[in-house]
Amino acid sequence: MDYFPLFAELHQQPCLVVGGGAVARRKIDLLLRAGARVTVNAPELDNELAVLVERKQLIWIADTFKPDLLDAALLVIAATNDVAVNAEVARLCKTRLKLCNVVDDRNASGFIMPAIVDRSPIQIAISSGGKSPVLATRIRQQLEVSLSKQLGQLANWADEWRDDVRSHFDDSNNVRHFWRDLFASPTADKVLTNDIAGANRDMSDALANSADVAEGEAYIVGAGCGDPDLLTLRGAQLLQQADIVLYDRLVAPAILDIARRDAEKISVGKEAGAAISSQDEINALLVKKVGAGLRVCRLKGGDPFIFGRGSEEIQALAKAGLRWQVVPGITAASGASSYAGIPLTHRGLARSVVFVTARDRHDQPPPNWKALAAGEQTIVLYMGVAKAAEIVAGLTNAGKAADTPIAIVQNGTTRAQRTVRGELGQLAELIAQQAITAPAVIIVGEVTQLADELNWFTGNTQTEARWSDVAFNADNNQ
């Protein structure tokens, strides 16, 4: 975060603007709209500012810059056409611990004026940190079009009901859930279309019919297979509603940033051979939190129902009589293969695809290698890096040719994605030579040869990546 965003209460607060031209006028207009008491220090004023002075909406100090004026100002804006004067204003503000904005000079500024979407009391400020004001303005224009002009009216209406809602519930989480549900309901639409009477009736009915004890719910959400942008819209919506987020080791920080700032975030990630939280512990924690009336988002890498163990968590919730819903995610097989330019089926090469985990419970028999080796099918192996030798032996002993084309996609769909191709018999050697580690998927089949023609994603060719780059591309929840 380059700048700390805040909304300053400037009503009747003294502010100083140095400069009296068109640039200064634009800043003065914003300060006056915020209710500030503005003093302008400039030898001359443009016509519009002169009118404001005549109306006693501004105080004008008709002179060159007077440093003593800084002492009484809460905020200062330097908006002259003289770079030296602006620099001097900024320098003196720093020595006197005053926040100063220098127009068109972010390096000298102590604060930056954002682009603003004004739906008072709802306000949205957009800043590029001074690096691209035009981009910030473009974002503001997009928001202006997409947000109702009556959004402020909705906020004011909600404020009128605030005390009634707060007195109806004993728990702050229940208050938050009530408002979230209401803003997503037709009641909010009635306010936005000026049907205030109808909205008031709805609100009265909603309070009369709402229970003081909220019912918790679990959102079992597939976080996708690597690129944070691949999280589904529904997944993002539920993540924003959650009171608590339980997340796997490979869930990207950018995904967690979507959650509410005040939501509790608990890592329940597991690594192969070194469990941080057992599945039973995760199930128990999920049941405990949902049973307490909380909305819990269980973020799982990939898809919850493809080697994600989401079904086991739902069984625990169902046994406890609790509510849940499932949001699918893009699994590692489809995500990594797509970003590597490898179709999992292709006419004439593969008429089916099978997903198989190379690692399972220790008391389970190995995969049915004979069934996997047969037919025109693509094999995608999850969690197979440490089992490469067993995979080669199992498939070749079952009749799969040692020269069958393969691909290993590491950190799929992220900037650190790397694809290594070769033949089945070389699998263990390739993994060792290329220092491939999890998360990675192994794709076996003729379709891997299409990567040269269909590859489109360049990613980042560096073999070492930061944690935030690696993100999450495998459904490694076993």
CATH 1.10.8 is the classification of domain 151-209: yes
Q: What's the distance, CA 201 to chain centroid?
A: 36
The CATH H-level superfamily of 334-470 is Tetrapyrrole methylase, C-terminal domain (3.30.950.10)
Q: Show me where the domains of the chain are located.
A: 14-113, 151-209, 217-330, 334-470
Catalytic residue among 27, 98, 270, 387: 270
Q: Cβ of 440: how many Cβ atoms within 10 Å?
A: 25
Query: Could you give the CA distance from residue 221 to residue 232 in angstroms, rounded to a whole number?
Result: 9
- Domain 14-113: CATH class, spelled out: alpha beta
Catalytic residue among 202, 248, 303, 475: 248
Contact (Cβ atoms closer than 8 angstroms) between residue 392 and residue 428: yes
- Is residue 226 left, alpha or beta, with left meaning phi > 0 and alpha meaning psi from -120 to 50? left
Residue 270 known to be catalytic: yes
- Domain 217-330: CATH class, spelled out: alpha beta
Contact (Cβ atoms closer than 8 angstroms) between residue 70 and residue 16: yes
Q: Cβ of 371: how many Cβ atoms within 10 Å?
A: 12
Residue 248 known to be catalytic: yes
Q: Return per-residue pLDDT of the chain as tens, 478 residues.
A: 888 999 999 999 999 999 999 999 999 999 999 999 999 999 999 999 999 999 999 999 999 999 999 999 999 999 999 999 999 999 999 999 999 999 989 899 999 989 999 999 999 999 998 889 899 999 999 999 999 999 999 999 999 999 999 998 888 888 888 898 899 889 999 999 999 999 999 999 999 887 666 689 999 999 998 899 999 999 999 999 999 999 998 898 999 999 998 899 999 976 544 445 789 999 999 999 999 989 999 999 999 999 999 999 999 999 999 999 999 999 999 999 999 999 999 999 999 999 999 866 666 788 999 999 988 899 999 999 999 999 999 999 999 999 999 999 999 999 999 999 999 999 999 999 999 999 999 999 999 999 999 999 986 443 332 222 333 333 433 3
* Per-residue burial over 60-92, b = 16 or more CB atoms within 10 Å of its CB, e = otherwise: bbeeebeeebbeebebbbbbbeeeebbebbbeb
Q: Do 14-113 and 217-330 show the same overall fold?
A: no
